[in-house]
Amino acid sequence: MTVRDSQRAKVYDAEQLVRGVFDRADEHGARTVELYGSHLTLPIERRFASVESVQSYADKVLALNWVRARWERATAPVRVRARGGVSAAHYEAAEAVLAVPLHTGGTAWALRELVILHELAHHLESAPASVAAHGPEFCDRYVELVDGVVGPEAALLLRATMLGCGVRLG
């Protein structure tokens, strides 16, 4: 029996808001944002041009010493492939495949670091059938990846936005 994924929409809402903050920072060249009265300087979010560049990035993240020490599943390779649909990236646990939509309609919304780290957080789950796909455990893992790979400012923005959207963290 699969566990109900009751906070999926809230997680996606939070991520969309965070991606919007990063997009606006890129558009305006202003890396400093205000978050609950504090000023954060956002790091640069990596963008990708191809399946091959996403594959290389995923391999490097999974090879990080701290990632391997933290999650046993980091030693299991993930394969990246192009996804036909344009609305979502997804992770296929049975085959350890990360599927990402490529450039469609002049946009490559999924070829960015936050989306790839989201999917890698799914890959690192050791018992996917026993927990909700976007439950508190997933959210903690995702925020921890963002903290260690993108930076603590990005993780703080993600965590605060998730909490503001009603997402439960572990």
In DSSP notation, 20-59 reads HHHHHHHHHT--EEEETTEEEEPPPPPB-SSHHHHHHHHH
Per-residue confidence (pLDDT) for residue 28, from 0 to 100? 84
Burial of 141 from C-beta contacts in 10 A (0-12 / 13-18 / 19+): buried
Q: Would the pLDDT of 8 be above 70?
A: yes
Q: What would the DSSP string read from start to end of 127-138?
A: -GGGS-TTSHHH
Q: Would the pLDDT of 104 be above 70?
A: no
Q: Give 2 or 4, the one with higher predicted confidence.
A: 4
Give the mean model confidence (pLDDT) for residues 24-43: 88
Per-residue confidence (pLDDT) for residue 106, from 0 to 100? 61
Confidence of residue 98 (pLDDT cuts 50, 70, 90): very high
Confidence of residue 123 (pLDDT cuts 50, 70, 90): very high
Q: Would the pLDDT of 103 be above 90?
A: no
Q: Would the pLDDT of 1 be above 60?
A: no
118 contacts 15 by C-beta, under 8 angstroms: yes
Per-residue confidence (pLDDT) for residue 2, from 0 to 100? 64
Averaged pLDDT of the chain? 91
Distance CA 159, CA 170 (A): 11
Distance CA 44, CA 151 (A): 9
38 - beta bridge partners? 35
pTM above 0.85, yes or no: yes
Q: Give 158 or 101, the one with higher predicted confidence.
A: 158
Phi/psi region, residue 34 (left: phi>0; alpha: psi -120 to 50; beta: rest), is beta
The dihedral through the CA atoms of 158, 161, 162, 163 has a sign that is positive
Give the mean model confidence (pLDDT) for residues 8-21: 94
Residue 61: strand, helix, or coil: helix
Give the mean model confidence (pLDDT) for residues 60-81: 97
Give me 37's structure tokens. Answer: 């009265």
